[in-house]
Structure 1
């Protein structure tokens, strides 16, 4: 069996890759993928802490499934917003939407 600490290290790595990608990228799709990395790190932490603290129960896994559902809905809404921004500005860069006005 893989030790729980390995899952925590992988989760921290995913989290920091996501934060670094979100801060350094200017492409909206790349930023969305970085946010998904952060959410996947959270899901992995839910499952790892469940295995560590409550090995016979499944609350952490159910919380992970709920979080995956929420992140899927968030991704659908974000892609719809990105498509509308692309139609309006003909660019998917963050710099192109700095001057949004009515």
Structure 2
């Protein structure tokens, strides 16, 4: 059996990679995927901590996080598609949504 510490280390690595990708990449889709990676890294951390504590609370929390992530994914992708249709690009440098 793999120790829970390994899963925590993997979770930290995934979260850091997600943060780096979010700040380095300049298109909306990659930034959105980076947020999803960070969210799944958090889920992995919750599950590994719940497993080490022999508790079901982590699984319940992860279930609700996955539910929220599914709705966030639907809304986020819809917004990205809307921006792509209107602006013909998803590069953050080229999009000035708040400009009148």
Same fold (TM over 0.5): yes
Say which SS state the counterpart of residue 66 (structure 1) adopts.
helix
Q: How many Å apart are 1:99 and its aligned residue?
A: 5.0
Which blocks of at least 5 consecutive residues in structure 2 are unaligned? none
The ranges of structure 1 where at least 4 consecutive aligned residues each deviate by more than 6 angstroms after the TM superposition are: none
Shift of residue 93, structure 1, vs aligned partner: 0.7
Output the TM-score relative to the length of structure 2.
0.94
Aligned residues: 100
Q: Kindly tell me: are residues 45 and 34 of structure 1, through their superposed partners in 2, closer, same or farther at Cα, counting changes over 3 Å? A: same
Using the alignment, how far apart are the partners of 1:9 and 1:59 within structure 2?
21
Report what 2:81 is aligned to.
83
2:67 to 47, 66, 69: 69
CA distance in 1, matches of 2:97, 2:39: 29
TM-score normalised by structure 1 residue count:
0.92
Q: Deviations over 1:12-49 (max 9, x none)?
A: 01001100000000111100110001000110011111
Specify the alignment match of 2:90 in structure 1.
Answer: 92
| CA-atom RMSD in angstroms | 1.1
Q: Deviations over 1:39-88 (max 9, x none)?
A: 001100111111122x1x31101111110111111111011111111111
